[in-house]
Amino acid sequence: MGAPHYQYSPWSSLETNADTIHNSIAIRVIVGALTNKNQNLRKYLEDLKSPAGFVDTSCGHDFGCLLDAVGRDTFAFIATYTR
């Protein structure tokens, strides 16, 4: 992952800020389908010992479907970590 744009990617940010993320940030990743790239991101977060919640749906690339499927739970998740 040494390409010039890597320093601006979520992967780089996760790696650089792993301790901060692990100790003070809650992450919830919601995906429309668990593709190889999404599986790789989930594995990467697990390897960093990130307390990320990873939610797989069958929505594909459809934001409305994602909101219908997990919107309420996601807002509850946000409320839990912003009190």
CA–CA distance, 18 with 45 (Å, rounded to integer): 9
- What would the pLDDT profile of 27-62 be if each residue is shown by its tens digit? 888 888 778 888 888 888 888 777 778 888 889 889
Question: Are 56 and 32 within 8 A, CB to CB?
Answer: no
> For the CA atoms of the chain, what is the radius of gyration?
14
Q: Read out DSSP for 21-51?
A: HHHH---EEEESS--HHHHHHHHHHHHTT--
Average pLDDT, the chain: 82
